[in-house]
Amino acid sequence: MDPEVLVEHVHPEEPVHEYAGTVADADTVYHDSDFHPGDEPHPDGVTQDGHPDAHTYNDDHHNDDHHHEEDGHVVLAGGAAIRTSKGPSKKVRRRRRFLALLLTLAVFVVAVAVGAQFLKPLLGADTVADYPGPGTGEVMITVPPGAGPKSVATELQDKKVVANADSFLRDFVASGGALAPGDFSMRNEMKNSDAVAVLLNKDQSKVMYFALSAGLRIGDSLQAISEGTGVPVSELKALNASPAQFGVPARAKTLEGFLAPGEYRFPIGTPAKDVVQKLVTTTLEELTSQGVTDPAKQYDVVTVASIVQAEGGQAEYGDVAGAIYNRLKPNNTETNGLIQSDATVTYGLGIKSFHIDEDQKADKSNPYNTYANQGLPVGPIGSPGRTAIDAAAKPKANDYLYWVTINLDTKETRFSKTLAEHNTYVAKYNAWCEANAGRCV
| pLDDT tens-digit series, residues 324-339 | 999 999 999 999 999 9
- The predicted pLDDT at position 97 comes to 84
Give the integer Cα–Cα distance in Å for 252 and 379: 7
- The predicted pLDDT at position 121 comes to 56
Strands of 100-216 (E only): list them.
136-143, 182-188, 207-212
Burial 393-425 (b: 16+ CB within 10 A, else e): bebeebebbbbbbbbeeeebbbbbeeeeebeeb
Vertex 286 angle, CA 284 and 290, to 5°: 115
- The predicted pLDDT at position 338 comes to 96
Contact 257, 383 (CB under 8 A): yes
Whether 386 has a pLDDT exceeding 90, the answer reads: yes
- The predicted pLDDT at position 82 comes to 53
Q: 323: helix, coil or strand? A: helix
Which has the higher per-residue pLDDT, 432 or 82? Answer: 432
Contacts (Cβ under 8 Å, ≥6 apart) of 280: 246, 247, 248, 255, 258, 259, 260
Which has the higher per-residue pLDDT, 283 or 117? Answer: 283
| Cα atoms in the Cβ-side hemisphere of radius 13 Å centred on 186 | 31
Indicate the DSSP class of residue 11: P
- The predicted pLDDT at position 10 comes to 44
Q: What is the mean pLDDT of residues 96-116?
A: 79
- Identify the helix (H) or strand (E) that includes residue 273: helix 272-289
Whether 380 has a pLDDT exceeding 90, the answer reads: yes
Contacts (Cβ under 8 Å, ≥6 apart) of 172: 149, 153, 179, 192, 196, 199
Nearest Cα neighbor of 405 from 390, 425, 391 is: 425
Contacts (Cβ under 8 Å, ≥6 apart) of 173: 149
Which pairs with CB-CB distance under 8 Å and at least 24 residues apart come from 127-132? 127/163, 127/164, 128/163, 128/164, 129/163, 129/164, 129/167, 130/162, 130/163, 130/164, 130/167, 130/168, 130/191, 130/192, 131/162, 131/163, 131/189, 131/190, 131/191, 132/189, 132/191
To the nearest whole percent, how much of the chain has pLDDT over 90? 54
Indicate the DSSP class of residue 46: B
Q: What is the mean pLDDT of residues 17-34?
A: 43
Distance of CA 416 to the CA centre of its chain: 40
- The predicted pLDDT at position 29 comes to 43
Question: What is the band of 418 on the pLDDT scale with cuts at 50, 70, 90?
Answer: very high
